[in-house]
Amino acid sequence: MDSKLPAPAPIISADTAAFWAATKKGVLLLQRCDACQRTIWYPKAFCNACGSLETTSFEASGEGEIYSFTEVHRGETAYRETPSFILAMVELDEGVRMLTNIVGAAPDALRIGQRVRVVFDDAGESAALPRFQPADKVS
């Protein structure tokens, strides 16, 4: 989709290449530790729950709920010219909480606990940014 928000290209490392490549296909990947089975966020080549160096990516449901949100009126860096936008922390159904934006909804219509689903905004040739929309708006 195109949310009209800035979509700065992320810096991609060896740890995160598979994650960002998947975003171009509209897939949100998470990692599960091969040793302790813990689902971890953000992508890293290490399980910091148990110290294992072996993790495996899997496709996340892309669904979750709003843990908290704010309408930011004073954007910085790439968002400096954006009048306002929604910064949010979303708890995915897999248990991890990620920073993101809520798009396609008026700030007044949002609430903590609201169900949301991932959508992707192109951020250059190599990545798309995982943002979230209220679940009842996504077809």
Partner 1 sequence: MSIKGKAFIAGAYEHPGRDLPDLSVMRIHAECAMGALGDAGLSLGDVDGYFCNGQLGFGGISMAEYLGLSPSYIDSTFTGGSSYLAHVGHAAAAIAAGKCKVALITQGAKVRGVVRGAKLAPDTPEYPFEHVFGETNAGIYALAARRHMHEFGTTSAQLAAVKVAASEFAQHNPNALLRKRVSIDDVLNSPMIADPLHRLDCCVVTDGGGALVVVAPEIAKSLKRPSVKLLGHGEALKHSGDGRPDLTYTGAVWSGPRAFAEAGVTPADIDYASIYDSFTITVLMTLEDLGFCKKGQGGAYVADGAALRLDSALPVNTDGGGLCNNHPGYQGGLVKVVEAVRQLRGEANPHVQVKDCALALAHGTGGGMSRMGSVTLVLGREDA
Interface residue list for partner 1 (CB under 8 A): 5-13, 15-16, 38-44, 47-49, 67-80, 82, 85, 87-89, 95-101, 107, 112, 123, 129, 131
Collect all residues with Cβ–Cβ distance below 8 Å to 101 and sequence separation of at least 6: 3, 5, 85, 86, 87, 88, 129, 131, 132
CB of 26 or CB of 45, closer to partner 1: 45
Which token pair is 126? Answer: 């190599």
CB of 61 or CB of 139, closer to partner 1: 61
CB of 134: closest distance to partner 1 in angstroms?
17
User: What is the amino acid identity at position 4?
Assistant: K
CB of 89: closest distance to partner 1 in angstroms?
6
CB of 11 or CB of 139, closer to partner 1: 11
What SS3 state is found at 19? helix
Strands, E assignment, the chain: 29-33, 39-40, 55-59, 63-72, 85-92, 97-101, 115-122, 128-134
CB of 114: closest distance to partner 1 in angstroms?
12
CB of 122 or CB of 139, closer to partner 1: 122
